[in-house]
Amino acid sequence: MQSSPDPRHQWHEMTVSRVIRETGDACSLVFDVPVELAEVFSYRAGQFLTLRVPWQDGSLDRCYSLASSPDSDPEHKVTIKRVEDGRVSNWLNENVAEGDVLRVLPPAGHFHLGHGRAGSESDLFLFAGGSGITPVISILKTALVTGSRRVSMLYANRDHDSVIFDAELAQLESRYGDRFDLQRRYDDSDGFLDLAGVRALSAGNGDREFFVCGPGPFMEVVEQGLRDELVPVEQVHVEHFVSPPDVDDEKVAREQEKAAEQAREQAADSGEVIKVVVVIDGHEHELEPEPGQTVVAAAEAAGISVPFSCTEGYCACCMAQLVEGEVKMLRNDVLTPAEVEDGWVLTCQAVALSGRVRVEYPD
């Protein structure tokens, strides 16, 4: 049975109402969300938008965190920092102006308040490195305006000139100084954050919720330091933000054909037709994908609306639980080994290998 297109999983045209130059290499885009799409674009603090930009003869999609808060800001704002040789980040910084229209997917992402124990009134400790401040400041603002919890935060940057949201953070310090403790750190004067520094900051805070976002080395140090302090894994939430490399179309095609051949061989050995059962919003849909076709592609071909964003294996918007059968992920740049062990798969990269597969999307 086909379902009606879900506007939460569809591209929408959004007008840029303002462009804010945050630093020399970062800008924020503020979007004018039409009233009729207000519910579709409702979001939780820490989530992201996916933007589609024209590129050569096609387009490229990238996810950018919302730096606005749904509880204190009337507008949707994403912040984009230039990445060296970054196709989309540089294009957005150089080309977008007020009044331009971009194609945008509604908010998505699992890094937000309400994840795990974070829905409680637990105090928070936030670690942000560089442009990793973008989802973290959204979480910070919501935490401060919606409750009485205490929030500590470390914000690391290479130098003062690279600090994003400096003035806004100062305002929050002034207004919520009794509950908000901000520690700024600069690589050029303080050195890089190390394990000893993380352990010192987290000591005695083991009952807090930790949110971590920043460059890879920064996050590795923070995560290891929290493990050293025996902070329970369910209290640590991380956001990996990476840009996919240039797509090697021939390599991707070879991987897909290899997966397709593996699927055909297994299906021939079992004598079964491959079937994929997708469970979403309490409804079951049975699909018969082509060999080598991903779950998302098969669902879209059948008219079933499922969550996805980048379709390149790095945003985790399409995460689902594999509860039956076997799949192969063509690419995975975001799920941790522990998450894969727990049965999570990226359905935009998952190709069915067994006769029957069942995946369930979280509510």
Phi/psi at 116 (5° precision): 65, -135
How far apart are the two ends of the chain, measured CA to CA in Å?
A: 20
pLDDT of residue 259: 67
CA 85 to chain centre: 21
pLDDT of residue 119: 46
| Residue 279, both tokens | 């469970």
Residue in 202, 145, 212 with CA at minimum distance from that of residue 176: 145
Crossing angle of helices 216-228 and 195-202, in 10° steps, is 50
Q: What is the mean pLDDT of each run of 10 residues along the chain (363 residues)?
A: 64 95 95 94 94 86 93 96 89 95 90 62 94 96 93 96 96 96 96 95 91 93 94 88 54 66 66 86 89 88 82 79 91 80 91 88 83
What are the strands, taking DSSP E only, across the chain? Answer: 12-23, 26-32, 48-55, 58-65, 76-81, 101-108, 124-129, 151-157, 180-186, 209-213, 236-239, 275-280, 283-287, 319-324, 327-329, 344-346, 350-352, 356-360
The rounded distance, in Å, linking the Cα atoms of 55 and 344 is: 32
pLDDT of residue 83: 87
Strands 101-108 and 180-186, sheet pairing? unpaired
pLDDT of residue 252: 59
Domains of the chain: 7-108 (2.40.30.10), 116-239 (3.40.50.80), 249-360 (3.10.20.30)
The rounded distance, in Å, linking the Cα atoms of 129 and 185 is: 9
Instruction: Identify the H or E element spanning 255.
Output: helix 249-270
The rounded distance, in Å, linking the Cα atoms of 318 and 207 is: 30
Q: Is the dihedral of CA 245, 251, 257, 261 positive or negative?
A: negative
pTM exceeding 0.85: no
